[in-house]
Chains A and B, each alone.
Chain A
Amino acid sequence: MKSIERLKSQPLTWIILVALALMLTLSFASPYFMTLGNMTNLMKQVSIVAILAAGQGIVIISGGIDLSVGSVLALSAVTIGWLIEAGVPSGLATIGGLAVGTLAGWINGMVITRGRIPPFIATLGMLGIARGVALVITNGVSYQVLDPLFLFIGNSKLAGLPIPLFFVIGVYAVICVMMHLTVLGRHVYAIGGDERVARLEGIPVDRQKVKIYMLCGFLSGVAAVVLVGRLAATPPSVAEGIELQAIAAVIIGGVSFAGGRGIVATALVGALIMAMITNGLNILGISSFYQQVLIGMVIIAAVWLDNLKSRSG
């Protein structure tokens, strides 16, 4: 009985139940939904938003927000395409892309901590800057990436599962360990809970914040690697507005916007719920107008449920 109570209080339990209910509904609604082919699709489709949502989840738990993840993703992708175009081996180009993402995150962190600029504004600035730089270095042109490494990432399978899924599993495994077993993870919760108290406790708040935004930028770079594999090209205008999907995934997962509370892994389920709505309605042939309405309602419902829980608990 007690274990059931504990299970009920787990945010992960609730969100997984919602996801399962949605999955069940969709599989009754369309015979194509619950097929091996479509599940493989879904895993590939969720991967980019899921990786971005992991970084976003950490930032939100720390009491911040990162609006620049989509633009940084595009900048990292363009960097990879540009380096490969210039004849750099794909491995090095990948490192270049990851480095650019991390650098953008570092700049975000420095602007927020040293410049004392609120995260919303600092990363809103980076949203414009990173997208602009991506357009400048490519002159608006999309590079083709037909490198074997990226073709492998985008199109191959391992043990019957698409490669992007392994990126997602890897990212979430590392992030879960980091958030729940390391000092940095503990500090993320402390800073998000009450920054003033965290400072009084002697936590190096600014240094840890810079690390958090760097990590978020790095994960945008990881998402870029998957994106380049999936598209075999690097259009600088790609994935505009994806930051809102990443933020929505985190919120649907039940992470509190106030910070200090929540589990990053729930963002993965949140991302999956949104991907299922889009994929399911596409398969059913329902207009994208309704998809937006539905996702909007799910976001509000998720926060409402969360409020109810915290009031009753």
Chain B
Amino acid sequence: MRLSSIIKTALGAALISGAMAASAAAADFSLSFIVKDMTNPYYWRMGEGAKRAAEELGIDLNFVSAKVNGDIAGQIAVVETEIVKKPDAIVLVPMNGTALIPKVMEANSAGIPVITADTRVDKGPAKVETFVGLDEEQSFAGMAQWVVDQLGGKGKVAILEGFRGSSTAELRLKGMMKVFDANEGIEVVASIAADWDSEKGLKASEDILQAHPDVNAIIGSNDLMALGAVQAVKGAGKLDDVIIVGDDAIPAALTALKSGELDATIDGNTDQVGYEAVMAAYKHVTEGTELDDWIVVPSTILTAKDVTQAYLDRRGVELN
């Protein structure tokens, strides 16, 4: 899905829900939105989406997090505090899929519906109304298809994988391989785990360029590794010959997109995740809507032309 179509959908949704908010008595609806780290740009953006939804609905939004990402005990304490406040619903981005299960159960027994966003809690005794988030596999299948299209269905590609054994890395790889395997003209000449790290991505790409000097595309499973690949390809003087793509749309990647060094990256649209999560929570509580197990928020493939000032403003990102 292109950026423009995303904006259209978002606008459409905004209009519909705006009308809805006017009709529903929502003044005394309160929602707790608990993320991993609200100072992190990734979750800040999710918060922006959540706030937009809350304004449209005219509800009370409490956007909170622990002090630092990784402080699981801190997040547990935050959830406990929020439960005491008796909100009408909780949206949770769990730091850890297992450790937060007891807290979700606590909310369950207090009669507060819980929705997870971005990260899941493990299957088990905890009752979660729905999960709002990206489909990593589908997302990377989309990126792989984009690369195949750019190559005209024929060429040699190399993959920089994330940490082997991490579920995210596996899903991303699976999505890509499904598309590459289905295209006979595409040959995957190397698939190396570079552990999400740019230095390892650089080294692996240098090795790939040695063993396969005629490689046509390098796909990083995240932007940091893709930016490492940019350095390697630049060093080999092949920036014009090799397509390089990444994922996450981090600011450094946006700069590289603009300068033409990186060809594409995936934007996970976390603001849309925040927006959809709030909307789903509201509808479920006030209208008793049955929610699907998974509300998929589609990702967007960004290229140089998508990095407009309007886009950067919406992300709250400044490039120099």
- A283 near B207 with CB under 8 A, answer yes
Interface readout for B81-106 with A: 1 if CB under 8 Å, 0 if not?
Answer: 00000000000000000000000000
The answer, among A139, A140, A282, for a CB contact under 8 Å with B190, is: A282
A269: which B residues are within 8 A, CB to CB? none
- B198 near A238 with CB under 8 A, answer yes
The answer, among B190, B204, B252, for a CB contact under 8 Å with A142, is: B252
- How extensive is the interface on chain A, given as a class? 35 or more
Residue of A with least CB distance to B194: A288
A310: which B residues are within 8 A, CB to CB? none
Is A154 in contact with chain B by the CB < 8 A criterion?
yes
The answer for the CA separation of A230 and B203 in the assembled complex, in Å, is: 10
The answer for the CA separation of A237 and B197 in the assembled complex, in Å, is: 8
The answer, among B40, B189, B197, B206, for a CB contact under 8 Å with A45, is: B206
- How extensive is the interface on chain B, given as a class? 20 to 34
Is A233 in contact with chain B by the CB < 8 A criterion?
yes
The answer, among B39, B199, B207, B231, for a CB contact under 8 Å with A282, is: B207
Is B251 in contact with chain A by the CB < 8 A criterion?
yes
The answer, among B199, B207, B251, for a CB contact under 8 Å with A41, is: B207
Residue of B with least CB distance to A48: B199
- B198 near A279 with CB under 8 A, answer no
- A233 near B190 with CB under 8 A, answer no
Is A155 in contact with chain B by the CB < 8 A criterion?
yes
Segment 104-128 of A: residues with Cβ below 8 Å from B: none
The answer, among B193, B211, B231, B320, for a CB contact under 8 Å with A283, is: B211
The answer for the CA separation of A238 and B211 in the assembled complex, in Å, is: 25
Q: Assuming the A-B contacts A44-B206, A231-B231, A233-B227, are A139 and B39 also in contact, with contact meaning beta carbons closer than 8 angstroms in the complex?
A: yes
Segment 175-202 of B: residues with Cβ below 8 Å from A: 189-190, 192-193, 197-199, 202
- B234 near A155 with CB under 8 A, answer yes
The answer for the CA separation of A231 and B190 in the assembled complex, in Å, is: 22
B198: which A residues are within 8 A, CB to CB? 142, 231, 233, 235, 238
- B210 near A41 with CB under 8 A, answer yes
Residue of A with least CB distance to B235: A155
- B164 near A279 with CB under 8 A, answer no
Is B126 in contact with chain A by the CB < 8 A criterion?
no
- A140 near B40 with CB under 8 A, answer yes
The answer for the CA separation of A237 and B207 in the assembled complex, in Å, is: 22
The answer, among A232, A233, A235, A285, for a CB contact under 8 Å with B211, is: A285
Segment 12-38 of A: residues with Cβ below 8 Å from B: 30, 32, 35, 37-38
- A142 near B250 with CB under 8 A, answer yes
The answer for the CA separation of A144 and B223 in the assembled complex, in Å, is: 13
Give chain A nearest CB distance to B57 CB in angstroms: 31
The answer, among A32, A140, A289, for a CB contact under 8 Å with B210, is: A32
B190: which A residues are within 8 A, CB to CB? 282, 285
Is A92 in contact with chain B by the CB < 8 A criterion?
no
B199: which A residues are within 8 A, CB to CB? 48, 227, 230-231, 238-239, 242
Is A88 in contact with chain B by the CB < 8 A criterion?
no
The answer for the CA separation of A142 and B211 in the assembled complex, in Å, is: 30
The answer for the CA separation of A20 and B280 in the assembled complex, in Å, is: 63
The answer for the CA separation of A144 and B192 in the assembled complex, in Å, is: 25
Interface readout for A228-251 with B: 1 if CB under 8 Å, 0 if not?
Answer: 001111010111101000000000
A227: which B residues are within 8 A, CB to CB? 199
Chain A interface (Cβ within 8 Å of chain B)? 30, 32, 35, 37-38, 41, 44-45, 48, 85, 139-144, 154-155, 227, 230-233, 235, 237-240, 242, 278-279, 282-285, 287-289
Q: List 15 A-B contacts (CB under 8 A).
A: A30-B211, A45-B203, A139-B39, A139-B41, A142-B250, A143-B252, A231-B227, A233-B198, A235-B224, A237-B197, A239-B197, A278-B207, A282-B203, A282-B207, A288-B193
Chain B interface (Cβ within 8 Å of chain A)? 39-41, 164, 189-190, 192-193, 197-199, 202-204, 206-208, 210-211, 224, 227-228, 231, 234-235, 250-252, 255, 320
